[in-house]
Structure 1
Amino acid sequence: MSIPPFLVLALARWLGGCLAVLLLTRLLRAVLLYLASSRQHSTTEFVVRLFTSTLLPIGWLAVLVWGWDALPMAGLADQAIYAVSRLMAVVLIARLINRVFLRLADGALRRMEHPVITPEMLVGFSPMLRTVVWLFALLIYLQNEGLELGAIFAALAGAGIGLGLALQRPVENFTDYLTVLLDQPFSVGQKIRVGDVVGRVEQVGVRSTSIRSLNGQRTVMSNGDLLNATIENLTDLPRRRIVQVIGVTYDTSADQMEMIPELIRSVVESVEDAQFGRAHFISYGDFSLNVEYVFFVPDGDFDHSLDLRHRVNLKLMRCFEDKGIEFAFPTQTLHLKRTD
């Protein structure tokens, strides 16, 4: 019993194609190992992910179709195989275009000195760009399958009014999303305060923004509500100004009060990263003599400012202990008059 020639041809194509894919895989791995030995580690990682998730499946799909083409199949099964293969090819190529385009755009933006949009904005626009690529891929697939696109466009044009009403809210959400991306009142990773919510921005979506509060709670707010509220960006500061008021007892002498601003200056300047501003005896309180002082943190990191405040306060307390200056606390003095 002889094997049909078409089956031999199909098996030969499958085996030859698999061998070619395996050899190509080994060759590309050798190239990737060579790149990994250089300084292009991020590029190597990207190529590895691209190869394993897109290029390799395209190779196996091509081998499958090439072998199937040698079989004398007809009818529904043959049409289904080719339709599914074309669909898978369109999906894989659309993914490839999305990933390569976004990677190239990100690299180009990072090399530009004054880019029109920032890499962070590109991340925000990426869902829209991916959607456009997927829509074009879908239209190309439908056209190749013989579907009349003119009829679809005519139906969409006739349903334009109803579609516009149905998409009113999504369009508003998308407009708010674009406003957040273009105005950039905040970006992912920055700490903001919106009303009673204080936390770091985790994600900016088309409809809403996720904020991780300081206690770990995740708060989701719509972009429209965020834009209508007062947003305090606690990270976007060239430097942070710290104002503190301390009170000393009324037993403190005038000479000691005159000495306190210089003591504060020396303490602040002894703390690394703290920049002294001023120190003044500002008022007579109900139970204390009040001294106000100001120093600056050279960056906008809120946690760093708390650390510097802690170190300044601790050193100031030790300095006052050495000089015999006492901090005040709420007290009341009662004068009793005895009448006979």
Structure 2
Amino acid sequence: MNLDFLQQVYFGNTVELYLRFAVILLLALLLKRYISSIFTRLFYTVFRKFSSDYFGQQFKELLLRPVEGLIVTVFFYIAFYQLSISLDKVILFRRMKPVKEAGKDVPTTLVTVMDIVDHLFFLFLLFYFVLLISRLLDFIFLVLVNKAKERDDRERQQVLPLLKDVLKVIVWAFGVLSVLGAVFHVNVAALVAGLGVGGIAIAFAAKESLENLLASFMVMIDKPFTIGDWVKIGGVEGNIEKVGFRSTRIRTFDKSVISIPNRQLIDNSLENFSERGMRRVVFSVGAIYGLSVATLETTMKEILNVILKTEGTTGTPSVQLESFGASSVNLQVVYFVSVNSNVEFGKVRQQVYLGVYETMYRHAKGFAYPTQFEISGPEVNEVFPPVAQPPETQ
């Protein structure tokens, strides 16, 4: 078989080099997922002792993209390197410098296509490497936070997410400085020194962000609450989900998420209901008039039993005759709900309401409704008796 055509030269490269270029690119696109899966499994064998098999899927999802990016970047560079001889000859632009002796300009720096390929290779290589480190931090702290939840260690649940954010900022800052130095040839030492001089201006420009950041550290030190606590801040009431760099996330009882800037945690009064250990619930039930005393006492006793049997309630509940209303005999119900991460307040309250609803129809003939009666006969007026009218004269 005659393969001499492979040595034919077009635009400075042989046909064989063009075929290598195409085959390597094709292999990179076709095998990137398979190769990255292999490397991900190898990575997981190192971290398996640190975590359980339950986190295997999360590990794969977190690391698959950066590993794919690294593999494709390396394959693409190898492919373009096959054409490096011709790409080095394609000059994109040149920098000129005046030479006094000769009285003319001579080129001092030539930028070729291969130079651009080299810089892009280092740029993408550093980006995906930093992304890989960042995803590894995500996985490590995912396992640590899950272990803290199993041990019900709320302090670790609060500190670990913030520590993860700090480490990720450091990793990405190192990556940006590495790109500036290796790819764009920036003097990193001079840049850092310049940032130190301009630090005051940056501090003024990012005043609110720095206040929120310092407030987050103050919260960690003062510990007015922990993850999962039920708090009320500036009219917002719910459970603490996460304390971040800038804001704290609160999950309200209607399941919406509200982010509050951390400096407001210090400036505003904060009420931590979880420190009570229980939440008080008070409501009234209207029974119809005409029920016997025995029936009312039985109804109150059954409502009390409903509360005591409902899982999640705590303390000593009470059911008492409160007042005589316009259309009902009002019974006051007071009970307490435990405040912890395992008790959902809305569900406990709903179970109590359903039990009271069934009890009222079972023992008290239902609920009272606003009613009016028309009374026949003359109006009773003992304060101002009517004055007798004189007889009419004809």
Provide TM-score, normalisation by structure 2: 0.64
Shift of 1:20: 7.5
Distance 1:264 1:141, change over 3 A: closer
Pairing 1:55–2:91 present: no
> In the alignment, residue 15 of structure 1 is paired with which amino acid?
V
Alignment partner of 2:131 out of 95, 112, 119: 95
**SS of corresponding position for 1:277:** strand
Shift of 1:135: 1.0
**Residues 173-192 of structure 1: matches in 2 within 5 Å?**
173-180=212-219, 183=223, 185=225, 187=227
Find the aligned partners of 2:39 and 2:208 in 1 and give their Cα distance.
Answer: 50
**Residues 147-186 of structure 1: matches in 2 within 5 Å?**
147-180=186-219, 183=223, 185=225
Q: 1:307 corresponds to which residue? A: 350
Find the aligned partners of 1:257 and 1:20 in 2 and give their Cα distance.
Answer: 80
Pairing 1:84–2:92 present: no
Name which one, 1 or 2, has greater alpha-carbon Rg: 2
Q: Is the 8 A contact 2:203 2:210 kept in 1?
A: no
Q: Is the 8 A contact 2:21 2:79 kept in 1?
A: yes
Identify, as 1 or 2, the structure richer in strand: 2
Find the aligned partners of 1:306 and 1:280 in 2 and give their Cα distance.
Answer: 16
Distance 1:126 1:11, change over 3 A: farther
Find the aligned partners of 1:184 and 1:170 in 2 and give their Cα distance.
Answer: 21
**Residues 1-340 of structure 1: matches in 2 within 5 Å?**
2-4=7-9, 7=14, 8-9=16-17, 11-12=19-20, 15=23, 19=27, 22=30, 25-26=33-34, 29=37, 40=53, 42-51=55-64, 53-70=65-82, 71-72=84-85, 73=88, 75-77=110-112, 78-111=114-147, 113=151, 118-119=156-157, 121-145=159-183, 146-180=185-219, 183=223, 185=225, 187=227, 193-198=232-237, 206-209=245-248, 221-232=260-271, 239-246=278-285, 255=294, 259-269=298-308, 277-279=316-318, 281=320, 291-298=331-338, 300-322=343-365, 335-337=380-382
Q: Is the 8 A contact 2:313 2:336 kept in 1?
A: yes
> How many aligned residue pairs are there?
332
Deviates more, 1:313-322 or 1:208-217: 208-217
Find the aligned partners of 2:77 and 2:347 in 1 and give their Cα distance.
Answer: 60
Find the aligned partners of 1:216 and 1:269 in 2 and give their Cα distance.
Answer: 27
Find the aligned partners of 1:27 and 1:87 in 2 and give their Cα distance.
Answer: 22
Find the aligned partners of 2:308 and 2:153 in 1 and give their Cα distance.
Answer: 39
Shift of 1:136: 0.7
Provide TM-score, normalisation by structure 1: 0.72
Q: Is the 8 A contact 2:36 2:68 kept in 1?
A: no
Gaps of at least 5 residues in structure 2 are 45-51, 90-109, 389-394
Shift of 1:305: 3.1
Q: Is the 8 A contact 1:275 1:296 kept in 2?
A: yes
Q: Is the 8 A contact 1:208 1:221 kept in 2?
A: yes
Q: Give RMSD over aligned pairs.
A: 4.6
Distance 1:150 1:270, change over 3 A: closer
Q: Is the 8 A contact 1:282 1:290 kept in 2?
A: yes
Percent identity (aligned): 18
Distance 1:211 1:246, change over 3 A: same
Shift of 1:311: 1.0
**SS of corresponding position for 1:171:** helix
Shift of 1:173: 1.6
Shift of 1:97: 0.4
Find the aligned partners of 1:171 and 1:3 in 2 and give their Cα distance.
Answer: 64
**SS of corresponding position for 1:154:** helix
Distance 1:335 1:280, change over 3 A: farther
Find the aligned partners of 2:314 and 2:202 in 1 and give their Cα distance.
Answer: 59
Distance 1:15 1:326, change over 3 A: closer
**SS of corresponding position for 1:118:** helix
Shift of 1:241: 3.6
Find the aligned partners of 1:217 and 1:115 in 2 and give their Cα distance.
Answer: 25
Q: Is the 8 A contact 1:275 1:298 kept in 2?
A: yes
Find the aligned partners of 1:228 and 1:255 in 2 and give their Cα distance.
Answer: 55
> In the alignment, residue 192 of structure 2 is paired with which amino acid?
F
Q: Is the 8 A contact 1:14 1:66 kept in 2?
A: no
**SS of corresponding position for 2:180:** helix
Q: 2:99 corresponds to which residue? A: none
> In the alignment, residue 185 of structure 1 is paired with which amino acid?
F
Q: Is the 8 A contact 2:287 2:330 kept in 1?
A: yes
Distance 1:66 1:210, change over 3 A: same
**SS of corresponding position for 2:381:** coil
Identify, as 1 or 2, the structure richer in helix: 1
